[in-house]
Amino acid sequence: MCYDIKTSLEAQLSKAKRRGDLQAIEEINRKLVPYTDLPLHHASGFSHPKLLIYTDRSPDYPEIAVWGLVPHWIKDRDHLKKFWNNTLNARGETIFEKPSFRNSARNKRCLVYVDGFYEHHHYKGKTYPFFVHHKNNEPMVLGGLWSEWLVEETGELLNSFTIVTTEGNDLLTRIHNNPKLKGPRMPLILPREIEDKWLDPVHDELDIKSIRELIRSYPDEILEAYTVRRLRGKEYIGNVEEVAKPHEYEELEF
């Protein structure tokens, strides 16, 4: 699964910088970044942070969105509170069938730029967090779904998103060994050369098939991972730079 991420301003701006869009970079810094929760050395989806996402309706200029997809049919805030933590991730194999995600899977897909993600390894009754990132430290592009929800009290539209997951590769098979799950999972990481295909419109079953074909494990030889400080409980040091730095556990055999 993918419940914990690290992302920086550099990662959020990477698409605009790659395109050489200086105006977009300036506007993103001035108009959007002040209203996000950046920088996020560590962010848990359960805290529903605000990030920038690139959507199918705005592929070159990001929008602010809250992590945890809110389908349009959510009734009110009480309903939202009971539901929200269940939509941080969307299982890629079923996004076109699940009621929470099927509308977004067809019409509202997005890209989420991060520096990497955290995953927990189970060993002798304890869990140990790993940080997974590109070996060359370039940002990762995660495939996501987004939605709009009308907040009746204020009349505003709340943008929200979920991160799509897929079967874990060899690296994640070693790390993500939660005994409560059927098998290892990982976020859908999109290679740069096909990332924009994730935003292509869906008109028929052939288009759905094309999107499904993008949902696959990412090559593990491009990634690396190392253990970091605890991300839960009393030992958690918070959203500070040190939380993402390597931290060894003498008792851990990995």
Task: Please list the residues that pair with 31 across neighbouring strands.
Answer: none
Domain ranges of the chain: 4-116+139-166+188-218
Residue 150 neighbours by CB distance under 10 Å: 13
Which CATH number does the domain 4-116+139-166+188-218 belong to among 3.90.1680.10, 3.40.50.300, 2.40.170.20, 3.50.50.60?
3.90.1680.10
Contacts of 17 by beta carbon, 8 Å cutoff, 6+ apart: 25
pLDDT score, position 180: 78
Cβ contact 54:15 at 8 Å: yes
pLDDT score, position 156: 85
pLDDT score, position 155: 80
The pTM for the full model equals 0.96
Cβ contact 199:189 at 8 Å: no
Dihedral-angle region of residue 93 (phi above 0 means left; psi in -120 to 50 means alpha; beta otherwise): alpha
Query: How far apart are the C-alpha atoms of 62 and 84, rounded to whole Å?
Result: 23
| Sites in the chain below the pLDDT cut of 70 | none
pLDDT score, position 208: 96
Query: How far apart are the C-alpha atoms of 110 and 4, rounded to whole Å?
Result: 18
pLDDT score, position 88: 98
Q: For the chain, give me the number of helices (H) and strands (E)?
A: 6, 12
What is the SS3 assignment for 176?
Answer: coil
Contacts of 100 by beta carbon, 8 Å cutoff, 6+ apart: 69, 71, 86, 87, 90
pLDDT score, position 230: 96
CA distances from 226 to 10, 98, 241 (A): 22, 34, 15
Residue 219 neighbours by CB distance under 10 Å: 12
